[in-house]
Amino acid sequence: MKNWQNDGLVKATKSNVPHLYLYTWIRASGWCFTILNSVIILILTKDMLCLEIILLALGLMRISFFSRKYDRSLPRTILDILLMLLFAFIYILDVQKIGYLYCIELICIIYFSIKIEKDNNIIDNHKIVLWWRHKKQEHRIKEIKTRVEENKKRRVDLQMTEEEKMKRLSRHQRKQNKKQRNGR
């Protein structure tokens, strides 16, 4: 058993388990296309089976993002792909043109997932990802600036005048300060 399988409750990220990260995005994009195709078929045929498939796909897409590693494994990815192919087969029987579109989408998903597996920089250097990171960075910088300004305001409020400082000193310390100011 591989090392990452022993520790099934650790959150899987791109840095610690890149293949699970890839499986997650294969499953999520597949379910997203399933939902899209189901909506198109629902509009065209008004079949309630499509509505059930949409709800099922939403639930299964949520499961593909679970943080536990064993929920994001290869067997579960294969199971999801088989379910997507089953839905594609149902669509082919009902509406052939949409079913072919669905099969082409699955082929594209597999092609791009293999391409991403070979080079992870494809995702990291994508315009949308870079825009999202830049937006998050701007948000963090804005938060830091507001916190710094709040801290400056607090410091100004905490700076006391000489009279306030004198009130806080003990009677003996006030006498000594008075003597020093008078030059004795």
Rounded to two decimals, what is the model's pTM? 0.43
20 vs 72: CA distance, rounded Å:
6
Query: Which residue's structure tokens are 């306030």?
Result: 164
Spans of the chain below 70 pLDDT = 1-21, 66-72, 94-99, 120-124, 156-158, 160-162, 165, 184
Rg over alpha carbons for the chain, rounded to the nearest Å, is 31
| pLDDT score of 183 | 74
pLDDT, one tens digit per residue, over 83-126 is 888 887 777 776 666 667 777 878 888 888 777 777 766 666 77
pLDDT value of residue 104: 82
- Helix (H) / strand (E) element for 96: namely helix 96-118
Nearest to 80 by CA among 26, 36, 117: 26
Work out whether the CA dihedral 61, 63, 69, 72 comes out positive or negative.
Answer: negative
